Structure 1
Amino acid sequence: MILLHRLSRIAAACLALLVSGAGSEAAAQTLRFSTVVIDAGHGGKDGGSVWNGLIEKKLCLDVAKRVEAGLKSRGLKTVMTRRTDTFVELEQRARLANRVPTSVFVSIHFNGSRTTLISGGEAYYRSSRGKILASAISRSIKSRVTGGSRGIFYADYKVLRATQMPAVLVECGYISNKREARRCADPVHRQKLADAIVSGLLAARGR
């Protein structure tokens, strides 16, 4: 009887440790930040991908501004790497971001491929903290946006490598795909993309 009582107490202790560990792991999957640096990809002389009558740089800036509005409405501070159709060097974008304390970095893009059947959003990361952002945004896009998400991927992009904070590059969809291009041309769809990015950021922040 005493042996059974001891075994029961050991089992309870083990269960408590497992629950505690799970809680710590969950806590580790959120980030602390008060500001989001929003990077509208391309701009100026760099138009990015051009497919089906759409120019990537214009879509990027439109979605970036919508993300900014969404974050501000929820009480977060924002910094934009560009607000107009201007060319900004990648190094300059990273330097600007690195001057912002307690922040994360989100670079917004639209994709293109000669394999025009490919569609869907993608999120790229380089660091473990960036992976938290990428995962949260990818899940949000998958659940909220027509076309969904193709998942998250590791990449050594300059804006991910040169930024010191958690950073993610979001490809909002393939404008080389005619059906997806029609969606991306619609402001309603772009608002849904922006809302999904905002929701993902808030999820990564643990609210």
Structure 2
Amino acid sequence: MQHCLTRIAAVGLALLVGGTAFEAAAQTLRFSTVVIDAGHGGKDGGSVWNGLIEKKLCLDVAKRVEAGLKSRGLKTVMTRRTDAFVELTQRARLANRVPSAVFVSIHFNGSRKTIISGGEIYYRSTRGKTLATAISRSIKSRVIGGSRGIFYGSYKVLRETQMPAVLVECGYISNKREALRCADPAHRQKLADAIVSGLLAARAR
């Protein structure tokens, strides 16, 4: 009886260890390229609050993310590099042509409830949730204002992309204090660094 109990315990331990390893593996993603989507652009300015225009902030952070990823040996594809209007479907189509990739759409938020502040990361798929979790943790630990958490979202760029995809709201420019931070290039660099670190944390080695 004791022998049987010992064997059962050993099997249980093996399953536990195996399960833990499986869960750890499931929490990482395999990709070599990041498609970086700077939100809005051209005739679509996005949110405009406290003297800030969302489309400009999005492109600035997107370029910083690109530089950070390239310096760490990852390939990147940008959906826009200039103040150009790009249809949402076109952004998704471009992304879907890129092999071994994840998709990160960069935005800044606005709300009539100007007390709200902090980043938000949206996902739609299970693999997107893995990416969102890693980026949210990174922003929370590295950036003043932090992250309000991850949320399920059915945005078009999340619905139509076929790879793990997230939409990162970097902060609420409708909040005066947060708008002041977002206007500072040093803060935008910290946001970009946090997004890069989150992507690397989610990537399978």
Counterpart of 1:46?
A: 44
Q: Quick one: distance in 1 between partners of 2:14 and 2:160?
A: 41
Q: Choose from 17, 28, 31 the match for 2:29.
A: 31
Q: Which residue of 2 aligns with 1:100?
A: 98
Q: Report the Cα offset of residue 16 of structure 1.
A: 1.2
- The one-letter code sitting in structure 1 at the alignment partner of 2:24 is A
CA distance in 2, matches of 1:130, 1:79: 18
Structure 2 distance, partners of 1:20, 1:105, is 30
Moved more, 9-18 or 158-167: 9-18
| The one of 103, 127, 150 aligned to 2:148 | 150
Q: Deviations over 1:160-181 (max 9, x none)?
A: 0011111000000000000000
Unaligned 5+ residue runs, structure 1? none
Structure 2 counterpart of 1:13, one-letter code? V
Give the RMSD, CA atoms, in angstroms: 0.7
Which letter maps to 2:79? T
List aligned pairs for 1:1-207, cutoff 5 A.
3-207=1-205
Aligned residues: 205
Three-state SS of the structure 1 residue aligned to 2:29 is coil
The separation in 2 between residues aligned to 1:48 and 1:41, in whole angstroms, is 8
> One-letter code of the match for 1:49?
S
Partners of 1:101 and 1:15 lie apart in 2 by 38
Q: How big is the shift at 1:6?
A: 2.5
Q: Identity of paired residues, percent?
A: 87
Structure 2 residue matching 1:85: 3-state secondary structure: coil
User: How far, CA to CA, are the matches of 2:11 and 2:198 in structure 1?
Assistant: 35
Cα offset for 1:9?
2.3
In the alignment, the residues of structure 1 paired with residue 164 and residue 12 of structure 2 have an alpha-carbon distance, to the nearest angstrom, of 34
Q: How far apart are residue 82 of structure 1 and its match?
A: 0.3
Matches of 1:170 and 1:108, distance apart in 2:
5
- C-alpha separation between the residues in 2 aligned to 1:102 and 1:10? 41
SS in 1 for 2:81: coil
List per-residue Cα deviations over 1:24-45 (Å, max 9, x = no partner).
0110111100000000000011
Deviation at 1:147, TM superposition (A): 0.2
How far apart in 1 are the matches of 2:166 and 2:3?
Answer: 51
